[in-house]
Amino acid sequence: MKRFISAALFAASLCAGLPVHAGLNVFATVPEWAALAQEIGGDKLKVFVATNALQDPHRVEAKPSLITRARNADLVIATGAELEIGWLPLVLRESGNAKVMPGQPGYFEAAQQVRMLEVPQRLDRADGDVHAGGNPHIQTGARNFLPVGSALAQRFGELDPANAAAYQAGYKAFADKWQAALMRWEKQAAPLRGMPVAVQHKAFVYLSDWLGLKEIATLEPKPGVDPSAAYLSKLVAQFAAKGDNAPRMVLRSVYNSPRAADWISEKSGVPVVVLPFTVGGSERAKDLFGLFDDSIERLLKELK
């Protein structure tokens, strides 16, 4: 766990320690958008990231330090789709910074740039932590970084016209490298296609959609609701009944408590794979490329 903390702090320090002559002050809610912004903007940006990989992005304290950062921001980059609904609206309201309020050019939501999955047909709090706009964990699908990056480069240029060409060049350089990496990752991950898996939280739907994993069970009875012992026991019995069609592994994010996944693994024999989930979630996931290099290698290692 200490090495995960070190990696998360290292990633945050990279995002926060850019040169003071930066053209734009950027407040990113989560590490993946801070990393993407830096890939595109380089030293034209000063990027602050509000959270790290060991924090549940749904549940963040709206600290005065975050309010101060938002007050001085030219652009807020959020995931959106209600991921940050528990804390970001308060941070923005208390900041008093009109230019970064939703609907203004200084506010950007990544989820608006991609095809959303698991959009609910109905909204009922009895169904757990369901998001009206769809599953917000879009960063687990590597292809989503291209449309988000393209829109982000455009927004940088609108806010900082003097450096617009540099932002477009930065995005092009990133996109070229990312396309090559996508081809490599998809070829590497081909053995995973169709593999049945269980997930602790519905955090990997975009990863599964991208790589062709088949999610057949969730350890949470409802999104955001901790499972009871009876519910987990029922899952163990279901896994046994499925035989060869049982999950090959249980996926959990590095920030999730290991208790439920480890209990299931002990009782069922299904191994747990801990995925970094975002930049800083492991020693290798120091940037976006390392995030997916590490995630795919962890999945393949357990498959073997």
Enumerate domains of the chain plus CATH numbers. 2-112+119-183 (3.40.50.1980), 190-303 (3.40.50.1980)
Closest-CA residue to 57 (of 200, 260, 199, 203): 203
Position 23 scores a pLDDT of: 82
Q: Please, how many CA atoms are within 13 Å of residue 159, restricted to the half-sphere of its CB?
A: 26
Position 244 scores a pLDDT of: 85
Closest-CA residue to 60 (of 32, 88, 93, 100): 88
CA distances from 226 to 63, 218, 238, 250, 288 (A): 26, 11, 19, 16, 30
Q: Is the dihedral of CA 248, 250, 253, 258 positive or negative?
A: negative
Listed as ranges, residues in the chain with pLDDT below 50 are 1-21
Position 127 scores a pLDDT of: 54
Query: Are the CB atoms for 108 and 61 separated by under 8 Å?
Result: no
Per-residue pLDDT tens over the stretch 35-67: 999 999 999 999 999 999 999 999 999 999 999
DSSP string, 153-196: HHHHHHH-GGGHHHHHHHHHHHHHHHHHHHHHHHHHTGGGTT-E
Cβ atoms < 10 Å from Cβ of 268: 19
Query: In 3-state terms, what secondary structure has residue 72?
Result: coil
Position 302 scores a pLDDT of: 87
Specify which residues 24 forms β-bridges with. 45
Position 83 scores a pLDDT of: 95
**First-to-last C-alpha distance (Å) of the chain:** 25
